[in-house]
Structure 1
Amino acid sequence: MRITSILLSLLAVAAMSAGNANAASANLVKNGDFSQVSNGNNNQVGHVAGVTGETMLANWTSYDGNNGGYNFVLNGTQVTTTDSRIWLQSFTPQTNGGNFFASDPLYHAGVLSQTISGLTVGDKYTLTFDYALGQQSGNTGANTDYWQVLFGQTPKAHDLEVGVLPANTVTQNSASLSIATGGFSGWQTSTMTFTAAQASQVLSFFAQGSAGAPPFLLLDNVSLTAAVPEPSTWGMLLGGIGLVGFMARRRAAKRA
């Protein structure tokens, strides 16, 4: 009876672990591909709806303290043409050719934020996103830039510029991307892990970089999922099941 209880407990743990693994496929970020806009593609991102020449990103907030900042939603099939508000040099699109977010870290960069709900306090979450660095047409000069990612409370752009974080907020940086004048970095993927301190927290992106001619940091395919159980957890589980089997065989041998 005791062995049966232990085995059932281990199977329950296995089921819970499998459930967590399946939950990891659910993206908690909404509109992570920036496809949902209020006023078309290739527009400056606004902070207040209805401003002429601006568009709103569903589920996201872009704010530099006064307005949406010098942030844009652009389209991969148009960004090297005159149809685009910002024309990037040497640009290579993602395979899907869809929308992406673009921010100039040196000119009124706004914080891009989204409130993430449904978190489990103490659980780890994996953040992944694609990013790249390009330069606006008509400009020259080398650049090195990166995304500062924050998880906690809503930050203010002018505070981040001087290194001040909001309370109860953790931050990580993507790897820096560097380009020569007129260059394009190509798309990269960044992966980070954050631990939830509250059931609802704000995920934010802020473009940071060195002085240079107008660069644009690009962002696409943002995803936040529950972390998959560590391999060590599965190892302990399998070891426990093996131990139960050994005990069962030993008991059977004694009875024989």
Structure 2
Amino acid sequence: MKRIHALATSLLLAAGVAQAATVHGEDFESGSTPAGWSGAGTVQSTGSFASLGFGQQHLRVEGSNAAVLTLNNLGAHTAITLSFDLVLWDSIDGNPGGFPYGDMFQLRADNVTLIEQLFGNYGTNGSEGPGSTLVQNDANRGYGFWVDSARRVELTFAHTADTVRFEFQYPNSQGSSDESFGLDNLQVSITPVPEPGSWALLLGGLGLVGLASRRRG
């Protein structure tokens, strides 16, 4: 029986079913805006966040317009996985109501909203935000006080088009002197559609596994 299980595993690996392939990666260390990016955002120093794995440079977005990443010629696929580090600069409001008003981070892909979530570092109600915490120091949080905050975000969504357009935005940002955010360590992967030959190999091999199982039974 162990041999049958090993054969089935080998067939799955040989068929290469749903193996993710990286199609874009960017750490902004070149110091200039990379190809594919448009809209808001300039490459700037990460300052104190360099110690968190952000490197020396990142894309900083100051204002309410979106930073846009467009990728072409993705090839046949069934899903996209996007991961990136998100950092808050200055005093992005974290309250869901009252003053200051809460700021919503938005991520869209081809005009479909993937994330719309409160994430701030100023005010009495701290926001968890999307993804997992890199740093969020809640000590002495209150009006007139803000803290460094950063998240690591990863999500997978169904997608089949040959082109994808991502938009990263704080639509109600009050501007660079008061609020801004940054992106770094961004990676885009696709789940390719298996080749017809791979499916034939997999189905034929699983048939042999089933036959072997019945003979042993």
TM-score bracket for this pair, using the shorter chain length: 0.5 to 0.7
The answer to whether the Cα contact below 8 Å between 2:31 and 2:44 also exists between their aligned partners in 1 is no
The answer to whether the Cα contact below 8 Å between 2:81 and 2:157 also exists between their aligned partners in 1 is yes
Shift of 1:125: 1.3
Letter matched to residue 185 of structure 2: N
Task: Please name the residue that 2:149 is paired with.
Answer: 186
TM-score, length of structure 2 as denominator length: 0.61
Task: Please name the residue that 2:30 is paired with.
Answer: 36
The answer to whether the Cα contact below 8 Å between 1:146 and 1:217 also exists between their aligned partners in 2 is no
Query: 1: CA distance between counterparts of 2:190 and 2:53?
Result: 26
CA-to-partner distance for each residue in 1:87-126, whole Å, 9 max, x for gaps? xxxx67423532111113xx3x333223223434551111
Task: Please name the residue that 1:220 is paired with.
Answer: 184
Query: 2: CA distance between counterparts of 1:218 and 1:13?
Result: 40
Shift of 1:144: 4.2
Query: 2: CA distance between counterparts of 1:36 and 1:62?
Result: 16
Task: Please name the residue that 1:196 is paired with.
Answer: 159
Query: 2: CA distance between counterparts of 1:184 and 1:228?
Result: 41
CA-to-partner distance for each residue in 1:209-238, whole Å, 9 max, x for gaps? 466971111211111112499xxxxxxx9x
Classify 1:186/1:126 alpha carbon distance in 2 versus 1 (closer, same or farther; 3 Å). Answer: same
Match among 80, 83, 93 for residue 125 of structure 1: 80
Match among 26, 47, 53 for residue 95 of structure 1: 53
Task: Please name the residue that 2:37 is paired with.
Answer: 61
The answer to whether the Cα contact below 8 Å between 2:82 and 2:189 also exists between their aligned partners in 1 is yes
Write 1 or 2 for the structure with the bigger share of strand. 2
Query: 1: CA distance between counterparts of 2:145 and 2:209?
Result: 60
Query: 2: CA distance between counterparts of 1:126 and 1:14?
Result: 21
Query: Identity of aligned pairs, percent?
Result: 19
Classify 1:199/1:97 alpha carbon distance in 2 versus 1 (closer, same or farther; 3 Å). Answer: closer
The answer to whether the Cα contact below 8 Å between 2:77 and 2:192 also exists between their aligned partners in 1 is no
Query: 1: CA distance between counterparts of 2:8 and 2:209?
Result: 14
Match among 15, 39, 42 for residue 72 of structure 1: 42
The answer to whether the Cα contact below 8 Å between 1:62 and 1:110 also exists between their aligned partners in 2 is no
TM-score, length of structure 1 as denominator length: 0.53
Q: Indicate yes or no: 2:118 matched with 1:176.
A: yes
Q: Find the structure with the greater CA-based Rg.
A: 1
The answer to whether the Cα contact below 8 Å between 1:73 and 1:99 also exists between their aligned partners in 2 is yes
Classify 1:143/1:222 alpha carbon distance in 2 versus 1 (closer, same or farther; 3 Å). Answer: farther
Unaligned runs of 5+ in 2: 1-6, 92-98, 123-143, 194-202
Shift of 1:172: 1.1
The answer to whether the Cα contact below 8 Å between 1:132 and 1:184 also exists between their aligned partners in 2 is no
Higher-RCO chain (CA-CA 8 Å, sequence separation at least 6): 2
